[in-house]
């Protein structure tokens, strides 16, 4: 056998033997670009920027105003614990009282019924003293049978009417009636009676106080719409 023939034979034998697989070689991975992930990230970034801008604008649009902490009936005195200072965004159509005036309003009176949680407006407060000039304040203690079950509020116009005596005697004379304006109402839990403070003209205050002391009076609530 010639040298060339022997070399050719060795090459054929080597080609027939398969080389072991290379386990350290892997085909390259294909990167999939998930466009929806990129879009979501962009949307979140934009939303975060808008939220920050909105929060910044909202904080700058707020102001400190007074809010009612406790229910205050019309005509009652406003005390320190009845008001609180809060920071809110206020509609330009409203006229809330600035928080800086909290101390100034202590001792004022509610011009209307004020409910806890509502903003305090300038129209809801009055500086008029009670009783006013030419008036007197009289307190009348009444049991449930001497007054209507309808709740009374400051500013209600009422009539204090003299009732028959202990024996229930009825006379031909018209009962004595004194018109008054309710200033305050306080219920006495121990006795079940209600003390109604009313403002009357000075000239009628003594007579009303004397009649109220006998307990032979009744309170009549007149129409609230006038």
* pLDDT reported for residue 224: 76
Residues 101 and 159 both lie in one domain? no
CATH number of the domain where residue 161 is located = 2.40.30
Q: Measure the CA–CA gap between 87 and 22, rounded to whole angstroms.
A: 72
Q: Which two tokens stand for residue 7?
A: 């070399």
| 172-226 residue pLDDT tens | 567 789 999 998 888 888 888 999 999 999 999 999 999 999 888 999 998 777 5
CATH number of the domain where residue 88 is located = 3.90.1210.10
Average pLDDT, integer, range 42-50: 64
Which of the 8 DSSP states describes residue 65?
A: E
Q: Measure the CA–CA gap between 14 and 34, rounded to whole angstroms.
A: 48
Phi, psi of 220 (to 5 degrees): -115, 125
Residues 198 and 153 both lie in one domain? yes
| 2-18 residue pLDDT tens | 555 555 555 554 555 44
Range of the domain at 119: 63-126
User: What burial class does residue 158 get, using C-beta atoms within 10 Å of its C-beta: 0-12 exposed, 13-18 middle, 19+ buried?
Assistant: buried
Residues 97 and 155 both lie in one domain? no
Residue-wise DSSP of 153-202: -TT-EEEEEEPP-TT----SSPPPEEEEEEEEEEE-TTT--EEEEEEEEH
Q: Measure the CA–CA gap between 49 and 40, rounded to whole angstroms.
A: 14
| 104-149 residue pLDDT tens | 888 888 877 888 988 888 888 887 767 778 899 999 999 999 999 9
* pLDDT reported for residue 157: 92
Which residue among 102, 126, 150 closes a domain?
Answer: 126
Residues 116 and 144 both lie in one domain? no
Average pLDDT, integer, range 24-28: 52
Confidence of residue 57 (pLDDT cuts 50, 70, 90): very low
Confidence of residue 75 (pLDDT cuts 50, 70, 90): confident
Residues 77 and 147 both lie in one domain? no
Confidence of residue 55 (pLDDT cuts 50, 70, 90): very low
Which is nearest to 125 in space by CA: 93, 158, 83?
Answer: 83
* pLDDT reported for residue 3: 53
Q: Which residues pair with 12 in a beta bridge?
A: none
Residue 41, CA atoms < 13 Å, CB-side half-sphere: 5
Residue 44 lies in a domain: no
What is the C-alpha radius of gyration for the chain, rounded to an integer number of angstroms? 44
Q: Measure the CA–CA gap between 12 and 25, rounded to whole angstroms.
A: 27
Residue 22 lies in a domain: no
Q: Measure the CA–CA gap between 47 and 62, rounded to whole angstroms.
A: 22
pTM of the full predicted structure? 0.49
* pLDDT reported for residue 53: 47
> Strand pairing of 135-142 and 125-126?
unpaired
Counted domains in the chain: 2
Residues 175 and 109 both lie in one domain? no
Residues 96 and 167 both lie in one domain? no
Which residue among 104, 126, 148 closes a domain?
Answer: 126
């Amino acid at each position: 056998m010639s040298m060339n023939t022997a070399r050719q034979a060795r090459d054929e034998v080597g080609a027939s033997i398969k080389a072991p697989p290379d386990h350290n070689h892997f085909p390259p991975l294909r990167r999939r670009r998930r466009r929806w992930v990129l879009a979501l990230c962009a949307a979140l970034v934009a939303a975060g920027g808008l939220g920050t801008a909105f929060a910044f604008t909202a904080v700058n649009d707020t102001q400190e105003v007074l809010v009612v902490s406790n229910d205050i009936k019309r005509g009652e005195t406003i005390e320190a614990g009845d008001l609180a200072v809060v920071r809110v965004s206020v509609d330009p159509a409203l006229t809330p009282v600035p928080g800086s005036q909290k101390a100034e309003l202590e001792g004022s009176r509610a011009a209307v019924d004020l409910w806890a949680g509502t903003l305090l407006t300038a129209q809801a407060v009055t500086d008029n003293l009670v009783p006013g000039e030419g008036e007197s304040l009289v307190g009348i203690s009444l049991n449930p049978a001497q007054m209507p079950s309808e709740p009374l509020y400051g500013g209600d116009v009422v009539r204090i009417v003299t009732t028959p005596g202990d024996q229930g005697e009825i006379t031909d004379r018209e009962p004595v009636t004194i018109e008054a304006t309710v200033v305050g109402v306080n219920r006495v839990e121990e006795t079940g009676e209600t003390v109604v403070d009313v403002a009357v003209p000075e000239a009628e205050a003594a007579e009303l106080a004397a009649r109220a002391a006998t307990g032979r009076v009744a309170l009549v609530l007149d129409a609230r719409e006038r």
